[in-house]
Amino acid sequence: MATHSHAGHAGHARHSHVHGRDADRRALKQALALILVFMAAEVAAGIIASSLALLSDAAHMLTDAAALALSLAAAHLAARPAHGAMTYGLGRAEILSAQANGITLLILGLLIVYEAIVRLVSPPHVEGGLVLVVALVGIVVNLVAVRILTPRSTSRSLNVEGSYRHILTDLYGFIATAVAAVVIIATGFSRADPIASLLIAALMLHAAYLLLKESGRVFMEAAPAGLDPEEIGHALASQPGVVEVHDLHVWEVTSGFPALSAHVVVRAGDDCHQRRRNLQRLLEDEFDVHHTTLQVDHEAAEQAPLQIEVPAVDSPHEGGEAGRRP
């Protein structure tokens, strides 16, 4: 008997998931507006000061704005209900967005490494004062953006995580840039700028690795982080009346949406419906898995050995007709 868990705690979990997505969209909108305002001010300052450095940094901020816009679009798609062939809805649009952000961070990090090496070999003249002012303003703006995108609960959409890591990397980058600017002003050591850039690139590549790894796990339908299928299997099999658990699958539809299916064999004569309800409560309470499909069957009843009677055959020494087919 295969059944789905849809009511009770599952309904509450879906409600919390929808509420979390609404909060994610609000945070993404606020962070995007903040980044766009700062980018516009930076472009204006760069034109007025004829500063290529400022315009280049504004172009980098444009990639942050694009990442936030992509995350926001993915969040809107994920909020659409399941329809037609999309029986799970468009929740994995958020995972695609996270993967795109990871790839963007990877490419930008490699480009920064290349440019930093070029500048280490042949360092250009850097206006330390102007760089310091922009870096300090950038620190404040990114601190506010990070605060907006910081989750209010323990769970975080991988989609928002991608944008968060973009902004957090920028925050560390502006801090490193400010330190490099102070060194340039104090000592005239222009190579401090590309050295800071290499540190920023290392952070970007690390963030890219984590995003690509986590989004890849979802696409490969690996068990969600923190859920051990072997532990879940042992927990199910140890319940009263359960004889065997096999064909156990645990995967993640999208961020915060784990799913599970399994074939459970219970003792002959047991109430399989009650056993199923008990197992679903265990999965909800102990593992926070609310979307489950459990096929529950009874074990085969033991049968007495089949007795076969073989008719006796007369000895050939007892009468001339013995052994002759009638």
281 and 157 within one domain: no
265 and 166 within one domain: no
CATH number of the domain encompassing residue 269: 3.30.70.1350
CATH number of the domain encompassing residue 101: 1.20.1510.10
The residue out of 152, 184, 219 marking a domain boundary is 219
In a domain, 284, yes or no: yes
In a domain, 326, yes or no: no
The range of the structural domain enclosing residue 32 comes to 18-219
- Joined together, the tokens standing for residue 47 give 């034109």
| pLDDT recorded at residue 236 | 95
User: Per-residue pLDDT for the chain (326 aa), expressed as one digit of tens each?
Assistant: 555 554 444 444 444 455 566 777 888 888 889 989 988 887 887 677 555 556 666 767 777 888 888 888 888 887 788 788 887 788 888 888 889 888 988 998 898 888 888 888 888 777 788 788 888 988 899 899 888 888 665 556 777 888 888 888 888 888 888 888 898 889 988 888 888 888 888 888 898 898 899 899 998 989 998 899 999 999 999 999 999 999 999 999 887 889 999 999 999 888 989 999 999 999 999 999 999 999 999 987 665 555 556 565 555 555 544 444 44
206 and 60 within one domain: yes
114 and 260 within one domain: no
Residue with tokens 């901020």: 61
Q: How far is CA 130 from CA 54, 106, 194, in A?
A: 9, 28, 16
Of the candidates 151, 165, 150, the one whose C-alpha atom is nearest the C-alpha of residue 103 is 165
The structure's pTM equals: 0.72
132 and 29 within one domain: yes
131 and 203 within one domain: yes
57 and 85 within one domain: yes
46 and 105 within one domain: yes
- Joined together, the tokens standing for residue 252 give 């993640």
239 and 118 within one domain: no
Pairing of strands 242-254, 257-266: antiparallel
In a domain, 180, yes or no: yes
CB 255 within 8 A of CB 158: yes
Of the candidates 165, 164, 160, the one whose C-alpha atom is nearest the C-alpha of residue 21 is 160
31 and 138 within one domain: yes
Domain total for the chain? 2
CB 184 within 8 A of CB 190: yes
Q: How far is CA 319 from the centre of its chain?
A: 88
In a domain, 266, yes or no: yes
Distance CA 65, CA 50 (A): 23
Which strands form 242-254's sheet, in the order they lie side by side? 2-4, 291-298, 257-266, 242-254
142 and 46 within one domain: yes
178 and 250 within one domain: no
